[in-house]
Every structure is written in structure tokens, then in C-alpha cells.
Homo-oligomer: A and B are copies of this chain.
């Protein structure tokens, strides 16, 4: 098991766009209950199965991830996940020692852009780039598993 410690932010400007190229992600959820999620993800021609446990304040969350055959991932996404699944382009941006992952959502989550940064400890000090907006680490609405069931375009805030 890895413990994933992550902080998540809204993105307030487009300055990050010149810094990276993106890759298309599709992901669905086989289960989402009691803080536990079972996720199937396709990135290019790679498939992954990921189990996450309940998160804690501060952003730490147990995570188990396994590569699986792309064909299995496609079948699970088509037959075992609620539709439509999450589609987003993920941009990875190296700044100092950190890698920022900017997710630009598509489909019925179009309009939402989130930035995540993975930390080595919960109290790690980080430099926040200018294009980063409000922190939403503990706001469950921005969990991908929540967005899969309650897409951003249905929030009524746009």
C-alpha cells in the first residue's frame, strides 16, 4: 500500500498551459461507498485498477494501484461503471521539487480545471504558483468519484 498525500486546488488562470502537454484519461468507478472507491482508469493504451480507502484531513489516503490489461479496463468501464465516465486531459508540470497535475475535465464536467500536488508528508511546505486558486483538498465535491455521479455542469454555479 502507498499512502497518497495530496493537496488539491482550483485553477484561476491559463498561465500553466504553456508549461506542459497533456494526456487523455478516462476513468469510472465500480464502487464508491463509505469513503472507499474502486476505480478503473485508461491512460493511452494502459489500464489500471485502483482501490482507495477513506481519506483523512490533511489529504492522506491509502491507495493500492495495479496495472491491468487494457481490454479488462475497457470492459469494466463499459459494463461495470456508471455512465458517462470521467474524461479529462491531465497535464504534468514540474516546478522545483514538485509535480503539479492539472486536470482539465471534458464532457459533462467541462469547465472544471483542478490542480493536484502530491506531497511526501502532510506538513510539507510548498510554493504555490500564481495560477493556483482556492484550495479544495477536503471538499468532497471535487473528488473524481463525486464528479462521476454529480457532474460539474449540473452544479448550477456556472
Contacts and interface: CB of A to CB of B under 8 A. Distances in A.
Interface in A57-96: 62, 64, 66, 68, 71-72, 75-76, 79-80
A123 interface: no
A147 interface: no
A30 B38 CA distance: 8
A68 B51 CA distance: 12
B72 A64 contact: yes
Contacts of A80: 36, 51, 53, 62
A14 interface: no
Interface of A: 1, 30-31, 33, 36, 38, 49, 51, 53, 62, 64, 66, 68, 71-72, 75-76, 79-80
